Amino acid sequence: MISGVLGTVLVVIAWLSVLRTVFIPRPLSSRAAKWTVRVLAAISAAIARRLPSRVGGRILDFCAPMSLFTIAVVWLLGIVLGFTLIARSINVVTDMESLTRFVTFRLDGMAIVLEVITVLSIALMFAAFHTYLVGFTKAYSRRERQPLSLAAQVPRLADADTMVTLCLRANSHDAVNARFAEWTDWLDDVHWSHRCYPALVYSRPTSPLSWPSAAIIMLDTAALIEAIAPSSAPGQTRALLTAGSACLKGLAEQAGIMLPTVQVSFHGREDRLFNDTVQLAIGCGLHEEHDRQETWSSFQGRRRQYAPYATAINYFLMYEIDQEVNP
């Protein structure tokens, strides 16, 4: 009786995990994936930090695939062990010989019914895992599309000044608004997909520009335009800043990164003078609507909500060692 109850509980728990992780499209549904990747990431990061930078980065390369593999193994073990305990409770498995015959599917008689159910359950589990992998791969491809595009346009990491220039020289308010809307959709998708597929946070970028750095470029562009000329800012500006701040802060917390509140953010702009940036924007046709101090305060009020989190994610995942964008 105890074996039957334990076996049933194991099978139910395993399948609830499969269903909640794969088929319920809500971020909180992926608890098995979230905790698996978080434990493996903590172990990988602890090892990586004690090694040379590039070697440590390569160690973290395996965090995402290992977490996916571990999830599949946990589901498989839960189902196999659960059905084995159920078989034990109805005397299908009584000794090592019968156990071997059961797990190798060599029983006969009424026991074959339980074996068929076990095989079907395992097959369905692998089908569900395949569905999860397809969704994971598609989300990863969508994430990498924007960084690859930005890497071809900016001369160095987090250089929003160049992007501001490109946007303003387009001489089309609608074109800038459309670009901001595209970036907003991308950030919303990154936020949602990385909550549903937690291993995505630890998946290394294919672009020389990591996705947190790409997010800084997008958000700095919007924050600069809004701070300098709020009345001329495209309609999608605030939506972009809101989506980006929520995305970066939320994913930093998901990775276990907790930061104190900062008053000023120079993350990635240590060698860039704010006055030079404003003059560059003015030279491209943007009219400064406030005094310089108010413009600075407005920009910092926005930037401190996203830049520290993006920089922390880059550092924690050792993305910075891969970021070598050529001028």
Cα angle 108, 82, 86; round to 5 = 50
Q: Distance between CA 87 and CA 91 in Å, rounded?
A: 6
> Which pair of structure tokens corresponds to residue 146?
């924007």
> 249: which residues sit within 8 A by CB, 6+ positions away?
305, 306, 309
Contact 36, 67 (CB under 8 A): yes
How confident is the model at residue 106, as a pLDDT?
61
Cα torsion angle, 86, 92, 96, 101, sign: negative
pLDDT by position in tens, the chain (length 327): 788 889 889 999 999 889 888 887 666 556 677 778 888 888 887 887 787 777 777 787 788 888 889 899 999 999 988 988 887 777 766 666 666 666 666 656 666 777 788 888 999 999 999 999 999 999 999 999 998 888 877 755 546 777 777 777 765 778 888 889 999 999 999 999 998 888 888 888 887 788 998 999 899 989 999 999 888 888 899 999 999 999 999 999 888 888 888 888 888 787 778 888 888 888 887 888 888 899 999 999 999 999 999 999 988 887 765 444 333
> 109: which residues sit within 8 A by CB, 6+ positions away?
none
How confident is the model at residue 156, as a pLDDT?
57
How confident is the model at residue 199, as a pLDDT?
87
* Closest CA relative to residue 195, chosen from 146, 120, 252, 240: 252
Contact 305, 244 (CB under 8 A): no
> Which pair of structure tokens corresponds to residue 21?
């992780």
Neighbours of 23 (CB within 10 A): 11
Contact 99, 60 (CB under 8 A): no
| Residue bearing tokens 């599917």 | 105
Distance linking the first and last C-alpha atoms of the chain: 70
Q: Distance between CA 250 and CA 190 in Å, rounded?
A: 11
User: Environment class of residue 255 by beta-carbon count within 10 Å: exposed (0-12), middle (13-18) or buried (19+)?
Assistant: buried
CA 275 to chain centre: 34
CA distances from 73 to 19, 27, 127, 173, 227 (A): 16, 22, 14, 52, 51
Domain range list for the chain? 2-131, 142-322
CA distances from 157 to 4, 243, 322, 324 (A): 58, 21, 11, 8
